[in-house]
Amino acid sequence: MWNVKVFLGLMVLLLGNYGFCSAQISLENMILKNRKIKEAYKGLDNPLQIKGEDSSLDYTITSSGKNRIIKDKQFKNKFRYSPSYNNRLDTLRIYQNGKIVKEEYFMAKRVPDPAPFVYKNGRTGLSKSQIKASPYLRCWPFEYNLRLPIRIVSFDLTVKDKFGNIVIAGSKNSGQKINKQNLFFIEQQKKGATLYFENIKAALSSDIRNMQGLVIKII
């Protein structure tokens, strides 16, 4: 009996400083009704690769949920799998020469939100020169291992001086860059002033996400 294994790998896409950031995602296995369930992510082209004794053989994969599966034009054993629903079990059947050689079970789930940051991830205190050097709101992955593009759509910025007085209240910023007017007022602040990034909206695939806020202290 020839065994075929299907592994779900995840595409790495890093788009640098063009309004995108990375979100990483970990794959987990779980047991449901004595079946080994793998996870794929809604709205993404999750790569599938068939590995067996002869990976050059021609394969076909079908989805019980009628989800999109695209075969690679160059490699006969590679596919792209894009589930449409969250938390819905899908059975993928692998055929070779018209015969089913393996079944794999997948559950689609939502891509988690990344965390926003300015300058460097995890920094809650920044100097004015650091903000000026990188005046962008970006995103940082948690523990995930998938990288995918996320575009910052907009955010509000409130600035309080070191005494707690409001200097800027909910100023609108489009895209990922802090606008020139806000940067001017930030430059006037002393150490101890605080920046509040709120109402952060980001586009992930076809979803618009409301991100968690970020607080930065000027040091």
What averages of pLDDT result for each successive group of 10 residues across the chain (219 residues)?
42 32 35 67 83 70 92 88 85 89 88 86 93 92 58 95 96 96 96 97 82 95
pLDDT at residue 196 in the model:
98
The whole-angstrom separation of Cα 136 and Cα 209 is 18
133 φψ region: left (φ > 0), alpha (ψ -120 to 50), beta (else) = alpha
Query: To the nearest whole percent, how much of the chain has pLDDT over 90?
Result: 46
pLDDT at residue 3 in the model:
47
The residues spanned by each domain of the chain are 5-9+27-109, 115-218
pLDDT at residue 141 in the model:
59
pLDDT at residue 84 in the model:
86
pLDDT at residue 146 in the model:
56
Determine phi and psi for 166, rounding to 5 degrees. Answer: -75, 125
pLDDT at residue 114 in the model:
80
Strand, helix or coil at 140? strand
Q: Give 5-9+27-109's CATH code, choosing from 2.60.40.10, 3.40.50.2000, 2.40.10.10, 2.70.98.60.
A: 2.60.40.10
